[in-house]
Amino acid sequence: MLSGETIRNDATGETLTMLETSGMRQLYAVRIPPHRPSPPLHYHVAFAETFTVMEGALDFYLGRERRRVALGPGQRVTAEIGQPHTFGNDRDEWTTFTVETRPPGGVVAAFEMAYAVANAGGAAKDGLPRNWIARLNFIRISEGFLPGGCLCFCSVDCLRWRSGSAGEMRWIGGSRMFEVC
């Protein structure tokens, strides 16, 4: 996605606008509607995300205990590598915030896929793909992981779920084969 381009999720009204992309970071703006459900609690092993509110308010939740951080305009919070987090807009007004990923990750590409699925009628209530295979593909592309288990990628076409403790990473060989537990 090029700087200045905007994509829209017609199921939720949410938009994402690319502001900057480089070898060091990705910066994009997200506008979410009132009462937008939170994505699942997740974490990333390849990059940190900094969320900065531009307009409205954002409810941000950190850690497995979901410690709430209420953010207003100009306020920011960073989800470090491996730190579980999620966010939502529990208010009656729209919220606009920026997300900076350092180094750049696959989040924007994942949302391009998710919005395309949503715009074709395949969105769940949270705006992400309803189909579990498409949802797992979203997680894979975004380099996100769900606490409480591990998602193992054997290849682009093979996904399997294993239980394990969060945060442990084991290389199991191959260019697209890894396991995060």
**pLDDT tens-place string over residues 56-93:** 999 999 999 999 999 999 999 999 999 999 999 989 99
Residue-level pLDDT at 38:
80
Return the CATH fold of 6-137: Jelly Rolls (2.60.120)
Phi, psi of 135 (to 5 degrees): -65, -45
Domain ranges across the chain: 6-137, 148-180
Is residue 117 within a helix (H) or strand (E), and if so which, with residue range? helix 107-119
Determine the Cα–Cα distance for residues 144 and 31; give it in Å rounded to an integer: 21
115-143 pLDDT, tens digit per residue, is 999 999 999 888 889 998 998 888 888 88
